Chain A
Amino acid sequence: MTSNRPDFNFKSSSSTSSRNSDNINTQIRNVDLQPSSSQLSIQSNSWRHSSNLGSRGVRHGSRSGVDSEGFSMSRKEIEIDDDDARLVYVNNPVKTNESFEFSGNSIRTGKYSVITFLPRNLFEQFHRVAYLYFLIIAILNQLPQLAVFGRGASIFPLASVLFVTAVKDGYEDWRRHKSDKIENNRMSYVLVNDRFRQKKCKDIQVGEVVKVSADETIPCDIVLLSTSDPTGVAYIQTINLDGESNLKTRYAKQETLSRVPEKDIISGLIKCEKPNRNIYGFQGNMEIDGKRVSLGPSNIILRGCVIKNTDWAVGVVVYAGRETKAMLNNSGAPSKRSRLETHMNQEIMLLSFFLVTLCVVVSACAGVWLKRHQDELDIMPFYRRKDYSEGQVENYNYYGLGMEIFFTFLMSVIVFQIMIPISLYISMELVRVGQAYFMIRDDKMYDATSNTRFQCRALNINEDLGQIKYVFSDKTGTLTENKMEFQFASISGVDYSGEKTEFYGEEGGYSIQVDGQIWKPKMKVQVDPNLLKLSKSRNDTKSSKDIYDFFLALAACNTIVPIVANTSNPNEKLIDYQGESPDEQALVYAAAAYGFMLIERTSGHIVIDIQGERQRFNVLGMHEFDSDRKRMSVILGYPDSTVKVFVKGADTTMFKVIDESLNLDVVRATETHLHSYSSIGLRTLVVGARALSVSEFDTWQTSYEIASTALMGRAGLLRKVAINLENNLSLLGASAIEDRLQKGVPEAIESLRKANIKVWVLTGDKQETAISIGYSSKLLTSKMTQIVINNNSKMTCQRSLEDALIISRKLINVTHASEDDASSVALIIDGTSLVYILDSDLEEQLFELASKCAVVLCCRVAPLQKAGIVALIKNRTDDMTLAIGDGANDVSMIQMADVGVGISGQEGRQAVMASDFAMGQFRFLVPLLLVHGHWNYQRMAYMILYNFYRNALFVLVLFWYVLYTGFTLTTAITEWSSVLYSIIYTAIPTIVIGILDKDLSRKLLMTYPQLYGSGQRKESYNVKLFWVTMADTLWQSVIAFFIPVLAYWKSDIDSSSLGDLWTLAVVFMVNIHLAMDVIRWTWISHASIWGSIIATCICVVIIDAIPVLPGYWAIFYLASSGLFWVCLAGILIASMIPRFIVKMFMQHCKPCDIQIAREAEKFRNSMEITRSGEIEMNR
């Protein structure tokens, strides 16, 4: 297994713990779904609450450098005692379910039944604060003393929202019920009375034995007993579970794989974990025939997986129905709250303060008014406190001054309720859905190679994309393609890195003949003709032998499974090397190209075709990769029964175990080669080997058996065995693999840099590789000063940090003086140093240094350190961070950052599953941030301010009127208009504009990345803008209210007519205000804005055509008078003038970048724009 990348999908040695010691032909397994729950609980505490799905990365978190993995694994094993365990009696469902009733296999993803629908749905809906606020207001309004609005009008808004949501939920649930039914009624074969019979899926019980055929979906979580493969291998595809499409292998235990359930009754007891949602982990053991064998994640197949390349598989059900891991995982990603929304909530607090102030003013005035008229109230014609109708004269509907004030306060809360724009939360959700739709549909973010669209997994942080200041990027698979290609080899000190322009042979690649068929590797590799010639020559020279051993090691020392695939040509077959690690694949393909073709791998042996000659090697043992050793080894038994151990791993750990005395020159030469390889950005591996004598082998075998059967600390013991074996190796050579940069990465980084976004690269690769990738991706330039921090203790770290700070300060001062910003500082720091810096008092210094640097490159970092670096910035600044990565090792950083982006690439889907947004290529980050992020931010920021204004304006108009009604909260505007105001009159345009408006074109935003700065500087939403908006609102409300009042003072106008005038005036104002700020008028914007004005008029007419309402026919009398129209025109013009003047003045005197860019787009021809863009580039 590859090892130059410690954070890669390495295998845990603990997974070998289930190996049976009796069996010398140890199984080789591709443990891709790793156990991890044990670490999660310990390590994720300090981080964001992370889902188990993403835990694969978290588990590597051994900050101190001591690998705690093995220990915790074994601890976990012991911990399964009877209380915590689930006992499953194989093929005995009755006994299994005797003491505990395990859940059956019928699933119910539907949330509701017919009876529970109403209460449950309502309960869930009222979890949202917005609805609760509506509800409380509506309940208050139902008290007779407070009945400001009629029953209907007060409940209508809440009821309509609830109804729409309920219908939507109901429909979704109905569809879930339908699919549940199909799922539950699927047939599968279950062992009943020693014969496999068809049974409905929902009737399967825990403990039963089921049989699944090829291409069938697994109905529940089963522990494999046997498969059609004699070695007990089953291949599965987990695409339904985690989206990974490559085949994975699962193994039946040695003890059970030979038994045929129909004839040979299997009975045993499985003890395993309680159901949990970790799809990458499983712990348990099986007692069978008096022996206890342990079970791991490689022995279980989960519900939803599909059996491939295996005729049948038989397994015992351990988890069924809703307890299956797939079902337990049916929940979304953790939700984040956007920065803008957080700021908005502060302003909403201010608005609540305004609301309370208004209410206090009204109730205080009402108190004063009542006090002043205390004596007159009894018979005052419009108050009439005394009730004379009964014999005894009493106060009617009057509860004393204090209570009246209190009631007035509550009533004013009801009347002014929309001061707090609760509907804004609902509108924001709609807008985000719309924005997400456009991001997903953007064909410039579609990746053709992986056939993936952009994915919006989190729906509530769209606008954060417009304010990013730091991008933390993984390297492999993110900046690079993660498609490994074998490039160079250094074999026993000879560098084979000559020209490689041609493919081998005329047929294009190496091939072999098998039964008259031609077998070819699926991927072609460029070869060095020189090396090829040598590898084919079969003379007995030392170098020829070394080459033989080198390629044999490449072909054998891995966990790749060759799968023979058919082609359109019946005489031609392709060998597809399936495996988790792209590095291993590349090495095996390379070996095949040089004539060492791996054609078969079973648990006990491998078959390699060496230069047309088939050879079979016994695999006597294997020590899988772990992050401590950073190497793996395989023990091969040659056909002539000699035994050799091959080791492959990272140079740092390999050179420690290589016996330099054997050939010092070769070692030195290889080291030089390695350095030159990594300095051009290649990934390197060192290969070594040693012949084992019989006694050595026996010693190893005994200790290996002891270790693998140990009950405690098995992983640690196995590692010790491996370390004892892997020493005194002779150096065979080194390989260099190229991981090519993704398309468009340098340009993307250049754009991001211009947009004033700091790009930090965090990689597990070694320093030279990281730096060379840095150069090729234009992250580093030759003008930059590099500060390298590479220390082994806290003291030295501190010293170099201090030095670096001094240097960087000096450099920055020089830069200021010389007016040349090209000579900036790049910081390169490695994981070892970070161990001493992060979480210590040195963090502050690192932060100070890093914030001075234009580029930061962290190499050799562990996954949790990645998260630590993100946290370093996130906790100390207000700047938005974005983390982008593709692998499991990036999960912690993706979850830590404000915005997490996953690349759906070669390394599986865990990064995507933990991310907020997912896409196919790194370069899509540019349109995502610069275009969509910018738009989303501008739209959302404007929408929030506009909604504040819209609601406050209406409330203020109501408030002014209250001052003229003896402070009694009468509204001239009819209650229905107040209700419809935020539902029909003004709701749609703001949502439409929030989804569709574009301040600048895509082209312009891409040409001038600097325009992104407006989001970083919070130009579109800040406290100042809030106050300006509120001042404008105040002015507009004064105009809207007082122009009609002064016009109709001392006239015979009735309240309904004046109310209609105010309704229309406010709605017109609000829509025209919006229209003034719309930048792009598409037909949809026209339709929504003018449409809602028309809709308002229609609604007002309808309301005034209902005879029982007091305002019957008012609008018609009103509209027939000239005064009304003059009034309306006056209001609209007078209210907009100050705003217009200020806007125009600012536009002229202090134009923002967006303004200038808009003007340039419209008035300067494209030539000019591009030219100035070029000047920009040359600067």
Chain B
Amino acid sequence: MDASTRTKSRSKKPQYSRFTQQELPAWKPILTPKWIITSFVIIAILFTPTGLLCLWASERVVEIIDRYDDDCLPDSYSTDPDSFIQSNNTNKTCVRTLKVPRKMSAPIFIYYQLDNFYQNHRRYVKSRSDKQLRDPDEADETEDCKPINGNDDGPIVPCGLVAWSLFNDTYKFFKGNKAIDIDKKDIAWESDKKYKFGSNVYPKNFQKWELIGGGALDESKPLSEQEDLIVWMKTAALPTFRKLYGKINTDLEANETITVVIQNNYNTYVFGGEKKVALSTANWIGGKNDFFGISFLTIGGVCFFVAINFILLYVLKPRPLGDPSYLSWNRNQGAQ
């Protein structure tokens, strides 16, 4: 603080600006009854048709779901499913017949659905090595994969619980005696194939030692071409999930009977999970899902109801906007 700064000649009066005086031009919206009712009505008008649209879209999706884990277990093993599924000598082939309820036009997506499988379990999610999957030079990056990381003979590629538990049931579809082609190309994300799974990384030591967790991999194919693995390794968000198995590129007519030959290899019995196979057409809403239709209709309905109530309220108990007699100090005086 220099004495000179205090002299009268230099005034400390704050310079005027609209900013410092907090007088910037501003939009001051006030929600008047008109606005409130309009906004509720608009929401109602937007949401009700959208809800109907969703319901209609969901209705158009044809979906066939078949749970087979229990039925594909021979009766003799029903008390001990583990020994059935772990044995190499049991016949795991299982035949299911499905009826097409409505015409399904191509592409028809084949999913396997697992219930009660926590692919989002913390132990599970962490147990992978994305570095190893991308780059052959980083095959030793298996710290996160323990205990399925390899031994003295070298690292496991791909390591970790996620890859180890690769789903390995297989499906074959027959229309009568004629096999239906299943297109297993491009079931994984393009970005994953290009950047996450290396085209020069080959499976090594996979499912070789100790406990077998699931499917094996063709060691001659690079990871980027192992699309089943890529799909499997995109861990599901919720404990009930579907994963794409393949596509059928021919239409299925209504009331046709389809035979599915399933190799029931995958062990869901150990944790009480369920296995289902699902055939579904798709449109913009994805698979069959009535939830949106219902919830949007609900929102629309509620808004419409509220709008009517507000109209009634304003008619029956109007309050002039900005009437000073409603101010608390005026009210109190009136009350006395």
| Residues of A bordering B, CB below 8 Å | 237, 239-240, 243, 245, 306, 373, 376, 379-384, 387-389, 396-397, 437-438, 440-443, 446, 448, 451-453, 816, 819, 964-966, 968-970, 972, 996, 998, 1002, 1008, 1010, 1013, 1043, 1045-1055, 1057-1059, 1079-1085, 1107-1110, 1112-1113, 1116-1117, 1121-1123, 1126-1127, 1130, 1133-1134, 1137, 1141, 1144-1145, 1147-1149, 1151-1153, 1156-1164, 1172, 1179
Contact B147 A972 (CB under 8 A): no
Please state if A1108 and B327 are interface contacts (CB–CB under 8 Å): no
Name 18 A/B residue pairs within 8 A (Cβ), A-sorted: A380-B271, A384-B164, A389-B149, A397-B146, A446-B14, A453-B13, A965-B121, A996-B22, A1013-B328, A1048-B237, A1082-B24, A1107-B196, A1108-B130, A1109-B130, A1121-B286, A1145-B313, A1156-B327, A1163-B321
B222 within 8 A of A: no
In the A-B complex, the 8 residue pairs with the closest CB atoms: A1160-B322, A1159-B322, A968-B122, A1113-B191, A381-B165, A388-B210, A387-B147, A382-B124
Bitwise, B36-70 to A at CB < 8 A (1) or not (0) is 10000001000100100010000000000000000
Asked if residues B211 and A379 are in contact (CB atoms below 8 Å), the reply is yes
Docked Cα-Cα span, A839 to B1, in Å, equals 43
Q: Is the CB of A239 within 8 A of B54?
A: no
Contact A382–B295 (Cβ < 8 Å)? no
* Contact assessment for B328 and A1153 in the assembled complex, using a CB-CB cutoff below 8 Å: yes
- Structural contact, A1110 and B291, CB atoms closer than 8 A: no
Given A448-B11, A1083-B24, 12 further pairs, Cβ under 8 A: A239-B1, A381-B267, A964-B120, A968-B118, A996-B22, A1051-B241, A1052-B243, A1081-B27, A1082-B24, A1107-B196, A1133-B47, A1137-B299
Docked complex: B149-197 residues within 8 A CB-CB of A: 149-151, 161, 164-165, 189, 191-192, 195-196
B211 and A441 contacting across the interface, CB-CB below 8 Å: no
A1076, closest chain B residue (CB): B31
Residues of B in contact (CB 8 Å), total 102
B3→A306 contact, CB < 8 A:
yes
Contact: A968 with B211, CB < 8 Å? no
Inter-chain contact A382/B1, CB cutoff 8 Å? no
The smallest beta-carbon distance between A1114 and chain B, in angstroms, is: 9
B20 touches A (CB below 8 Å): yes
- Chain B residues with CB under 8 Å of A382's CB are 117-119, 121, 123-124, 161, 165, 271
Contact indicator B270/A968 (Cβ below 8 Å):
no
What's the least CB distance linking B228 to chain A, in Å? 13
Contact call A819/B134, Cβ cutoff below 8 A: no
Q: Mark B293-336, 1 if CB is under 8 A from A, else 0.
A: 00110010011001000100110010101111011110001001
Q: Find out whether the CB atom of A1126 lies under 8 angstroms from the CB atom of B20.
A: no
Contact A1172 B324, beta carbon cutoff 8 Å? yes
Verify B238–A1048 contact, CB threshold 8 A. yes
Contact of B195 among A442, A816, A1112 (CB under 8 A): A1112
Candidates B20, B292, B296, B336; contact of A441 at CB < 8 Å: B20
Q: Which residues of B contact A442 (CB under 8 A)?
A: 14, 20-21
Say yes or no: B240 contacts A1117, CB within 8 Å: no
Q: Does B107 sit at the interface, judged by CB under 8 A?
A: no
Q: Which residues of A contact B151 (CB under 8 A)?
A: 389
**Would A1148 and B322 count as touching, CB distance under 8 A?**
no
**Residue among A239, A969, A1153 with max Cβ neighbours from chain B (10 Å):** A1153
Whether A1082 contacts B26 by the Cβ 8 Å rule is yes
**Smallest CB separation, A164 vs chain B (Å):** 24
Report Cα–Cα, A383/B211, bound state, in Å: 14
Q: How many A-B residue pairs have CB under 8 A?
A: 284
**Shortest CB–CB separation between residue B235 and chain A, in angstroms?**
6
Please name all residues of chain A whose beta carbon is closer than 8 Å to the beta carbon of B149 when the two chains form the complex.
Answer: 389
Picked from A816, A1052, A1113, A1117, the residue with its CB within 8 Å of the CB of B241 is A1052
Q: Which chain A positions have C-beta within 8 A of B272?
A: 376
Whether B236 is near chain A, meaning CB under 8 Å from some CB there, is yes
A1010 CA to B328 CA in the complex, in Å? 9
A residues less than 8 Å from B295 (CB atoms): 1043, 1046, 1130, 1134
A1050 touches B323 (CB 8 A): no
Query: Is B113 among interface residues, defined by CB-CB distance under 8 A?
Result: yes
With a cutoff of 8 Å between Cβ atoms, the chain B residues found around residue A1145 in the complex are 313
Min CB distance, A1001 to chain B, in Å? 9
- A381 CA / B238 CA spacing, docked (Å): 16
Q: By the criterion CB–CB under 8 Å, are A1079 and B28 in contact?
A: yes
The yes or no answer to B289 lying at the interface (CB within 8 A) is yes
Which chain B positions have C-beta within 8 A of A816? 336
Contact of B237 with A384 in the complex, beta carbons under 8 Å = no
Report yes or no: B235 in contact with A1055, Cβ–Cβ below 8 A: yes
With a cutoff of 8 Å between Cβ atoms, the chain B residues found around residue A240 in the complex are 1
Partner of A389, one of B16, B210, B310: B210
Contact A1112 B191 (CB under 8 A): yes
**Chain B residue at smallest Cβ distance from A378:** B270
Given contacts A1057-B237, A1108-B131, contact A453 B12 (CB under 8 A): yes
Q: Bound complex: CA of A1084 vs CA of B28, how far in Å?
A: 14
Task: Check if B164 sits within 8 Å of A443, measured CB to CB.
Answer: no
**CB-based contact B237/A443 at 8 Å:** no
B81 located at the interface, meaning its Cβ lies under 8 Å from any Cβ of chain A in the complex: no
Most chain B CB within 10 A, of A383, A384, A388, is at A384
CA distance A964 to B118 in the complex (A): 8
User: B92 in the interface, Cβ–Cβ < 8 Å?
Assistant: no
Q: Given contacts A968-B121, A1130-B296, A1159-B321, is CB(A438)–CB(B20) below 8 Å? A: yes
Name the one of B12, B54, B333 contacting A451, with C-beta atoms under 8 angstroms.
Answer: B12
Q: Which of A1057, A1079, A1127: most chain B Cβ within 10 A?
A: A1079
A200 to chain B, nearest CB (A): 21
Q: Could you tell me if A380 and B21 are in contact, using CB atoms closer than 8 angstroms?
A: no
Give every chain A residue within 8 A of B3 (Cβ-Cβ): 237, 239, 306
Taking a contact as CB atoms closer than 8 A, the residue among B119, B234, B324 that contacts A1156 in the complex is: B324
Chain A residues with CB under 8 A of B148: 384, 389
- The answer on a CB contact under 8 Å between A1162 and B123 is no
| Chain B neighbourhood of A437, CB < 8 A | 20
User: What residues of chain B lie closer than 8 Å to A376, measured between beta carbons?
Assistant: 270-272
CB distance from B169 to the nearest CB of A (A): 14
Say how far A1141's CB is from chain B's closest CB, in angstroms.
6
Report yes or no: A1055 in contact with B125, Cβ–Cβ below 8 A: yes
Chain A's nearest CB lies how many Å from the CB of B217? 16
CA distance A501 to B286 in the complex (A): 95
- B327 with A397: CB separation less than 8 A: no
Residues of chain B within 8 A (CB-CB) of A1179 are 333
Q: Is the CB of B270 within 8 A of A380?
A: yes
B36 touches A819 (CB 8 A): no
Q: Max chain B CB contacts within 10 Å: which of A397, A1117, A1144, A1147?
A: A1144
The answer on a CB contact under 8 Å between A1045 and B161 is no
Residues of B within 8 A of A970 (CB): 120-122, 125
**From residue B196, how far is it (CB to closest CB) to chain A in Å?**
6
Q: How far is the CA of A1144 from the CA of B239 in the complex (A)?
A: 40
CA–CA, A1095 and B139, complex, Å:
36
Within the complex, the shortest CB–CB distance from A1112 to chain B, in Å, comes to 6
A1172 to B325, CA, bound (A): 9
Instruction: Find B8's partner among A451, A1002, A1045, A1148 (CB 8 Å cutoff).
Output: A451
Asked whether, in the complex, the Cβ of A964 is within 8 Å of the Cβ of B123, the reply is no
- Tell me if A1081 and B122 are in contact (CB < 8 A): no
In-complex Cβ contact of A1162 among B30, B211, B333 (8 A): B30
A388 partner residues in chain B, CB cutoff 8 A:
147, 209-211
B26 touches A1058 (CB 8 A): no
Min CB distance, A1161 to chain B, in Å? Answer: 7
Contact of B284 among A379, A1048, A1112, A1122 (CB under 8 A): A1122
Cβ A384 vs Cβ B122 within 8 A: no
**Structural contact, A379 and B270, CB atoms closer than 8 A:** yes
**CB–CB B235/A1151 < 8 A:** no
Q: Chain A's nearest CB lies how many Å from the CB of B171?
A: 16
Give the complex CA separation of A387 and B239 in angstroms: 24
Interfacial chain B residues near A966, Cβ < 8 Å: 118, 120-122, 239
Q: How near does chain A come to B85, taking the closest CB pair, in angstroms?
A: 11
Q: Are B299 and A1082 in contact (CB under 8 A)?
A: no
Q: Complex Cα distance A1082/B33, Å?
A: 24
